[in-house]
Structure 1
Amino acid sequence: MERRDFLKTMAITGAAASSSTALFSGNAEAAGTLDIGEVKSVKIDVLSETSWFSNDNLKKSMLDYGGASTNQYTIPWDADNAGGYSSLITVTTLDGKDHKILMDSGWSNTWMDYVYEMHGIPRMLRNGEIEFMVLTHWHLDHYWGIESTLKHNPKIKIYAPATHYPEDMALLRDKAHHKATDKEGKQVPICKNDVPHTGELVLCSTEGEKGEGVYKPLPGMAIKLFDVPILLRVRGENVLYFNVKDKGIVTVTGCCHPGILSLFSEARRTFKDYKPYGCYGGLHLTLFETWDPKFDDVIRGVKSFGLQKVACNHCTGWLWAEKAAEAGIPIVKGTDKYKSYKRQSAVAKATNVFLTNGDTVVF
């Protein structure tokens, strides 16, 4: 795949998906009827949003082995460039009780072990303080570090997309050691898990648990699967929604492959008395810091929903976040805590428009 075609593919999956609903304003869609209840607050601690450290390194691996549509399990990725995406979500319900949720398990076990220790995650997993894990999607940077979670609690309940492949399930349920073949014909280890998952696995479908289109693990929380094709032969992404009392709906996403405006529009169609309040996660826009005119439409679309807090990172792209902040979108600023981690992203900027490693946001 040529570099131009590669970047075009990335733009399509980011801008086109996100701007497909750019013309929908808050009043353009019928209000939903599903009542999921309310929570008191949602706190998100960023364990790691640096899924990789060099964009150029990641692009080269993809281009050298077929491009953005290639099966992720056939690319001999550079292990030294692997990091991971993972967050700790603390939901305070109306009765004042805190519920901890792990969202995603990163990529590199070495990196995730380091990150988890920094935040006390192993202890929380071992003592059952983390009630369940939500896997947003089966991409390597969100999932391949699963051993770092399971070795502390192999019985943890997991919500994952039903749109998996055999390699995905082998890594989760078996002692799988996946390898890929490089240009010289050498077998390169790319991921492994020696601690099979033995707990409850909820495979999320578009129908939902009771035909309502969502899963409701807690009062005031919903998980919705968007069954869309995404990069590297992965399909489907779980999105989390929280209804915060007296504030509104908070949308939490791993990579936002369906498009951020699609997520907001679907929430309006689904939830009773929908009121947008905030969002968190990777928004999959200027992933490799290149601009497409469609991203201006996304900025206008996001503004039309009137959110109070937009906390973004990971695949959002610093370029989009900076332009969004300049346009008046209420971007939640991060801090310099990420510099206390042993490695940093090559594209991190002093503008702090990302909520990056070690940062926290409360909705």
Structure 2
Amino acid sequence: MGLSHIDSLAITLLTDNYTDRLLPTLYPANRPPLVRDEQFLPSPPPIAEHGFSSLIKATCIIDKNKEKATTTTDTKKENIVLFDCGTSENGVLHNADILRINLNSIQYIVLSHGHFDHFTGLMSIIKRLNKPMKMICHPDAFLKRWIVFPNGRDKARLPSLSSEKLRNQKVNLFLKKGPSLLLENQIIDYQGISADDESTSPVPKLLITGQIPRHTTFEKGFPLQYKEDPTNGNLTPDPLVNDDQAIVANIRDKGLVIISGCAHAGIINTVNYAKALTGVDKIFAIVGGFHLTGGGIYEDAIEPTIKELKKIDPYYLVPCHCTGWKATNRIIQELPEKFLQPSICTTFTFDANN
């Protein structure tokens, strides 16, 4: 099994919990400009909110004669994917406008899982587009879910996605439990492609993990979550969040970049599954939510997660969204040379040539 190489991967944070306008641009982080045309920018400023959305651009340099990715500049092929859609109706649109991103360049929308802090902006984004859109998610992303608090009496319904409304907006839904491969203009079931086999053009290629197996003892999902039976309305436990999935890229000569939404499956389970799917052990970067905030079992998982991250030994760590300040501070303390500070509207570019 394997995953073909790409030459670079750019991840732009369109929704995240953090903002710091004074961070300097320093590879691999490109921060939004503070000044343009002798004026401080922008007004109004970028919006940070408890949620996640990222624009992912995968690039290959193509030799036209050989139809093979090379290091010579001949022409570029790109995959542009919107991974999650934020927690407010217009937050993604606001930040995309600040960065002058043309959302019609998006080829696919991928949903990490069906929680509202990852899908609320979806309908506004769809309405902005002037073309039909392909969207990939796990079937469980459309479940009607509840939070049932430990006393067993207090509960709250979570907002849910409607597949009917999406189809009415000309969204072409791909509901997949297993891993999928995103090519330039098609989606295929992932069977494992040799890292040296570029014959399945067009390139580049991004891997969606699909449902992630659970093996660690300290990553326990979301124990307060229940799902509603559509036939009788009864609630049954749904702690695993089986729809949780990540996106994986293989950077030439560098290793895997793994992007998670919340990592309800556990960030260690997610990384280990990405390695198992691709046959690649080297991890270049882990970006996204690690879900180590919220007290209880989540914070109990901080120390074993740090221990496993040291074993995995990624070159970069970008803990976003639901990672939480306690876990982020422990990452800074224990793995300071690997930590990159996330901030809204930042683009992280992981390049084979740097």
Give the distance between the partners of 1:321 and 1:164, measured in 2 at CA. Answer: 28
> Which position in structure 1 is the counterpart of 2:121?
145
Aligned pair partner of 1:312 in 319, 323, 328: 319
Q: Deviations over 1:144-187 (max 9, x none)?
A: 22112100226111111122336688634328xxxxxxxxxxxx
Contact 1:240 1:252 in 2 (8 A): yes
How much is the aligned-residue C-alpha RMSD, in angstroms?
3.1
Contact 1:312 1:331 in 2 (8 A): no
Show structure 1 runs of 5+ residues with no match.
1-33, 52-80, 176-194, 335-354
Show structure 2 runs of 5+ residues with no match.
19-47, 63-75, 145-158, 181-187, 194-199, 214-220, 227-240
> Which position in structure 2 is the counterpart of 1:265?
272
In the alignment, does 2:344 pair up with 1:357? yes
For residues 152-191 of structure 1, the aligned pairs below 5 Å read 152-153=128-129, 155-165=132-142, 171-174=162-165
Give the distance between the partners of 1:253 and 1:170, measured in 2 at CA. Answer: 20
Amino acid at match of 1:163: D
Closer/same/farther in 2, CA of residues 82 and 42 from structure 1, 3 Å limit: closer
State the shift of 1:279 in Å.
0.8
Give the distance between the partners of 1:85 and 1:292, measured in 2 at CA. Answer: 20
Contact 2:267 2:290 in 1 (8 A): yes
SS in structure 2 opposite 1:151?
helix
Give the distance between the partners of 2:277 and 2:290, measured in 1 at CA. Answer: 21
For residues 72-87 of structure 1, the aligned pairs below 5 Å read 84-87=51-54
State the shift of 1:104 in Å.
0.8
Amino acid at match of 1:197: Q
State the shift of 1:302 in Å.
0.3
Amino acid at match of 2:349: V
Closer/same/farther in 2, CA of residues 245 and 289 from structure 1, 3 Å limit: farther
SS in structure 2 opposite 1:97?
strand
SS in structure 1 opposite 2:80?
strand
State the shift of 1:198 in Å.
1.0
SS in structure 2 opposite 1:39?
coil
Amino acid at match of 2:287: Y
> Which position in structure 1 is the counterpart of 2:191?
212
SS in structure 1 opposite 2:137?
strand
Aligned pair partner of 2:247 in 220, 240, 244: 240
Once structures 1 and 2 are overlaid, which stretch shifts more, 249-258 or 259-268? 259-268
Give the distance between the partners of 1:220 and 1:207, measured in 2 at CA. Answer: 13
Amino acid at match of 2:162: L
* Identity value in percent: 24
SS in structure 2 opposite 1:163?
helix
Amino acid at match of 1:358: C
Closer/same/farther in 2, CA of residues 144 and 248 from structure 1, 3 Å limit: same
> Which position in structure 1 is the counterpart of 2:43?
none
State the shift of 1:278 in Å.
1.1
Closer/same/farther in 2, CA of residues 173 and 118 from structure 1, 3 Å limit: farther
Aligned length: 257
Give the distance between the partners of 2:124 and 2:98, measured in 1 at CA. Answer: 13
Q: Select the structure that is richer in helix.
A: 1
Closer/same/farther in 2, CA of residues 113 and 93 from structure 1, 3 Å limit: same
Contact 2:114 2:161 in 1 (8 A): no
Give the distance between the partners of 2:179 and 2:206, measured in 1 at CA. Answer: 17
Closer/same/farther in 2, CA of residues 133 and 89 from structure 1, 3 Å limit: same
In the alignment, does 2:94 pair up with 1:109? no
Closer/same/farther in 2, CA of residues 211 and 314 from structure 1, 3 Å limit: closer
SS in structure 1 opposite 2:54?
strand
In the alignment, does 2:178 pair up with 1:202? no
Give the distance between the partners of 1:271 and 1:325, measured in 2 at CA. Answer: 29
For residues 88-103 of structure 1, the aligned pairs below 5 Å read 88-95=55-62, 96-103=76-83
State the shift of 1:227 in Å.
5.4
